[in-house]
Every structure is written in C-alpha cells, then in structure tokens.
Amino acid sequence: MLPAIELHNISKTFTERNWKTFLFRKPHYTKALDHISLTVKQGEVMGLLGPNGAGKTTLIKILATLISPDNGTGVAAGYSLTEQTLNIRKKIGLVGTNDRTFYWRLTGRENLDFFATLYNLTGSIKKKRIEQVLELTAMEKKADFRFMEYSSGQKQRLSIARALLSQPDILLLDEATTSLDPIAKRKLLDFTRNTLVQKEQKTIIWCTHNLHEANEICDRLTILHEGRILHSGSKLFIKSLINKETPYSLTVDTLHHALKKQTDFQLVSTDASESITCHISIKHENIPTLIHNLTNDGVKIYECRQLTQSLEAAFRRLIANQPQSRHNGY
C-alpha cells in the first residue's frame, strides 16, 4: 500500500520585510523548514508536534498547496506537491482556527452551500453531500442558525464539515482545539478518533503543541524544532529516547544520602507516621543495587514503584537537548 504522504528534503525560507530591512537594506531570512523528510501511512493519525515557531503551520500549508516549497519533492494522495496541486486540493481537507473564512451572517447550511459550489458540486449531489457532512459532524440541528450564533465548538465542527465536502482522503487539522472549552475539546477528540478515523478511514495530520491530546489521539508522532525533524515514530519510541533513566517513587523511613544523590531527586511528602516519599530517576538495572544498599544500611522500604513518564516530559527533554539554531538573524 502506497503511503498517503511522502516528503523528501522539503525546505522553505521566508524573507521578512519591515522598517529595519528597509532602513539597512539587509533582508531578514527565516528558514521555516530545513530538509523535512516524512512518511505518513494511509489511515493513521500523525501528530505534528512542536513549540510555536517550529514550522508546523508552514508544513501544513505546503501539504495543502497554499504555498510552494523552495526545495524538495513530495507526494500527497498519489499526486506531486509541486506539479499536481489541483488534484491534491480535491483530496485534502484543511481545518484551521480562522473562522473569518466563513460568512458570519449566513447560516451554517448556506455557508456549506457556498463552499460546495466552489468544489464544483451542483444540484442534488450538492444537497446530498451537505446533508451528509452535517450528519457526520452532528450539526443538523444547528445547520439553519447563523454562523455568528455558533459556539467555538460548533464553529470548529462546521469547519470540519466544510473540509469533508469534497470527500478528501487526507485531513490537515492545524491547532484544531485552540480556543475550545474542555467539553468541546473532548467532543472533537472523540469525533476525530471514532468517526473520522474509524468510520471514515481518513488519514489525518494532527498539528498541535498540546502533548496530552497528541498522546491520546495520534498513532505516531513527529517532533519539529526550529524547522527540523528531531524524531518521528511511535509514542513509545519517543518516550524511550529520553528514558535512559526511569522515574521511580520510593517510600522509606529514613532519607538516606544514596537517595539524595540520584538524578531528579524530589522530596514528595513526609506523613505523620514518619514515612518519607521521594521521586528519583535511575537506570532500571540499577534499582536492585540501590534497594540492596539501602536495606544493608538499615533503611526500611515501604514501597518502590516505577512511575509512568508523561509524553510532555519526553518532549521537553528532547527540545532542551537541542543546540540553539542559527537559521534566523539580520
């Protein structure tokens, strides 16, 4: 089976123009993407992670054929990113956070009717497709309300409905949960996984800097930092990259010096019964030796358990270990 998306050495540099570049006649170049190579399988949810300015939105815009790369080649839905852009647009749906692309005084149905016409849908086919996407996004009851009356979650659902009008194979969701309240966010995550992926079999690029939602919804993760891919793989693989030392929680009767000198030592609590709980990081194979040394010195160990390290911790460590970029500057 051919991959849904395949990129090879994609690069993009922007030229910034402002009063400084005008005054000193020296343009400011920002390298947004630096030789990005990436493969996304059909039917999977690929999480595109990174802090603000990492290049996520630029990559999404290139995949949506809104901008062209300076260098590199790519294929999306079987078509060339640089030579078959019109074909790609029929196969890709883009969901962003900009609700200004809708007409606020029109109803949801009227908005979809307008955009369906842009997709060259007409007559009964157009009407049927609008009803289908309204049903898929559970927006039938709100379809005849004006867009300005929608909540943030309803606006985002209509944005997804619009993206589904052309029956795309690939969906690009760029910070789709931004500005949503927890309930609306929960509904969108469930809808994406249960309907778009399991029922509709869509390939999805989920672009976010929220590690918790990426951990929940994505099959694989790609971490971008300053225009470069740091790592790409399964969630377990990303966590394993920094799990050279495993986090543990120990509850003891005495705070021994052997505990204090461990990596990431943190005193968690001391209760009335004089037991002490602390967290440390240690290589998994070294934990038996530590316990043996503690018991030999008379320390009572009430509990020793391995902690689950969050994806967010893995992400922060990966970013922190990267050298400072020199791509940008005057």
| Residue 127 C-beta-side C-alpha neighbours within 13 Å | 2
In the block, tokens 């440390």 appear at 280
* Token pair belonging to 31: 């390298």
Number of CB atoms found within 10 A of residue 296's CB: 8
For the segment(s) 5-240, the CATH number from 1.20.140.10, 3.40.640.10, 3.40.50.300, 3.40.50.720 is: 3.40.50.300
Please tell me the predicted confidence (pLDDT) of residue 312.
67
Please tell me the predicted confidence (pLDDT) of residue 144.
96
Please tell me the predicted confidence (pLDDT) of residue 327.
45
Q: What is the pTM of this model?
A: 0.75
At the top level of CATH, the class of 246-308 is alpha beta
Please tell me the predicted confidence (pLDDT) of residue 94.
92
Q: How far apart are CA 87 and CA 173, in angstroms?
A: 20
Please tell me the predicted confidence (pLDDT) of residue 310.
64
CA distances in angstroms from 100 to 96, 148, 271, 322, listed in the order given: 11, 10, 55, 37
Please tell me the predicted confidence (pLDDT) of residue 328.
44
Domain extents for the chain?
5-240, 246-308
* Token pair belonging to 77: 């839905």
Q: How far apart are CA 287 and CA 42, in angstroms?
A: 42
pLDDT tens, 277-292? Answer: 999 988 888 999 999 9
Regions of the chain short of the pLDDT cut 50? 326-330
Please report the beta strands in 81-157, taking only residues with DSSP state E, as ranges in sequence order: 92-95
Cβ-contact 8, 72 below 8 angstroms: yes
